[in-house]
Structure 1
């Protein structure tokens, strides 16, 4: 079945996890293309500054403060879109938290919290959005995961498990919608290492501030892929050629990727900047000062990808 999605300038788009990084850039790109945007996150200051930025460029935006681990708060995002703009056309779910720690020093509570935000939050998002997309007769569910939806890295067991879970959930949902002949596209956006404030906000037990395994890419590349998927249906989108290389190698020889990870992924995720595990993080509450698009790796981040 061919799915025809509306042009961006005719859409109402909800972006969840919009206060910083990829989500913030995506909201700006949608607004710049003429979409009406509902932005959601836990950080009220981040949302307020984003709405102001969108309105200054002549766009329309509404903010909803929400914690994605609470279904009623997620449902309120979709409901607000319909109340404010009459409908919902695209749901972009990007909210995530990160924990850098060896599995043996990860607590049950920490592991569960990552699953609750990164997996159950995405599930709640789809549950909240689907009734509105069905009523509209078409639409797009766009879920941002990671290349770790297909290939896990060490020191990120909870994060990798959550992203694998989203991938499995989306595959099942996509086929159910196809079976019902509903013109709703389901897209999994899988970024490689992206230069966002995630690394500043993550809880770390590595003794240093973490970083993404190089090469690192700019958030604008992922945001561009999200906006494209809202207009032209796509199934899976890997952003970052290094991510594509890893996933290709994973299909050929997982054990070779294991060996590569042993050599590169432990040192590759560490900066030289000391950071205590008691330093502020956003695992349970938002932290201030990081409501921006780019992180600390702009000098080395690529704004292009093959």
Structure 2
């Protein structure tokens, strides 16, 4: 594991709710000045207040990451008001829960522009500031679904797959240039975030994450760890993420059949919902007069606040030392 880098200023997209909100809190607790980028004013201001309450500086900026000019303007403002950007965390996304043929072309394009091009735009702006200084880190927030597509989430899975290809290509270019800028990915499991209340859904029942479900803090710990140690190519958070990625490498056809049989049921609760309910694909639901959704969703009673696998992944040297010590102890005992 590489040397831990110092972070003074961090940027987090999608900072107003969910994983981004939990990540902002952890960074603020470490004394990092945080630029918060998102569309929803209510959530942004609430998140900024949490940063300030922790004793850190906050700069909330209303930004649609699908618009490159808005992201570029935000980058210039951050550098002017907070200082040089050390870490840029790309977390913003939007999507739709529906069979592919029920998603309109404009809706699919919009989800792709936010989730995939939003990361491309954030990365480009981050590099424009980091490359001249030859330092900095970019953290791409991915998913187990970046490697394994599932039914009812074609827009999200497609965008997350694209992020992997884009990031791998970029990493090779940075290595070729012997750049001091690092880029890493953090792939997440199913999480208890507000997305299931505000994403576009054409499912007859309320959307839910596929169990096992983790609290956003589990993801945030992995993201912050990656921000401080971006030398690793990827971080996998949660045992389910590990099993999904590895399983898809070994038995993809079997997973196709399994998900075709179970994927619809496992992504819906028993609660029926209005297919025309408001969603945040085009406009934020936490705009003026709206609601602060916070980091956690409605599945806290079924969610895990810790992941032993994620802890071991973040502390590989400690885990290796423990295993080595245990092995030596067994050998010593056997030689008695």
TM-score by length of 2: 0.87
Please name the residue that 1:270 is paired with: 268
Please name the residue that 1:302 is paired with: 304
Deviations 1:39-82 (A, max 9, x none): 01001111111111111221111111000111111112221221
SS class of match (2:304): coil
Alignment of 1:139-158 (within 5 A): 139-158=136-155
Asked if structure 1 preserves the Cα contact closer than 8 Å seen for 2:46 and 2:292, the reply is no
Q: CA deviation at 1:274?
A: 1.5
Alignment of 1:171-210 (within 5 A): 171-210=168-207
Asked if structure 2 preserves the Cα contact closer than 8 Å seen for 1:195 and 1:298, the reply is yes
Q: CA deviation at 1:239?
A: 1.4
- Count of aligned pairs: 303
TM-score by length of 1: 0.96
SS class of match (1:276): coil
Unaligned runs of 5+ in 2: 310-336
Q: For the residues of structure 1 that align with 2:272 and 2:249, how far apart are their CA atoms? A: 36
Please name the residue that 1:217 is paired with: 214
Q: CA deviation at 1:290?
A: 4.4
1:110 is aligned to 2:110: no
Q: For the residues of structure 2 that align with 1:264 and 1:157, how far apart are their CA atoms? A: 16
Please name the residue that 2:162 is paired with: 165
1:129 is aligned to 2:130: no
Alignment of 1:19-58 (within 5 A): 19-58=16-55
SS class of match (1:166): helix
Q: CA deviation at 1:4?
A: 5.5
Q: For the residues of structure 1 that align with 2:222 and 2:94, how far apart are their CA atoms? A: 21
Unaligned runs of 5+ in 1: none
1:69 is aligned to 2:66: yes
- Structure 1 window deviating more from structure 2 (259-268 vs 195-204): it is 259-268
Q: For the residues of structure 2 that align with 1:170 and 1:304, how far apart are their CA atoms? A: 28
Show structure 1 runs of 4+ deviating over 4 A: 2-5
Asked if structure 1 preserves the Cα contact closer than 8 Å seen for 2:10 and 2:85, the reply is yes
Q: CA deviation at 1:5?
A: 5.8
Deviations 1:247-298 (A, max 9, x none): 1111111011112212321100001122222100000000032430100000
Q: CA deviation at 1:3?
A: 7.1
Please name the residue that 1:292 is paired with: 294
Please name the residue that 1:91 is paired with: 88
- Structure 1 window deviating more from structure 2 (98-107 vs 258-267): it is 258-267
Please name the residue that 2:319 is paired with: none
Deviations 1:177-235 (A, max 9, x none): 01000022111111110000011011111112101110101110111111111111221
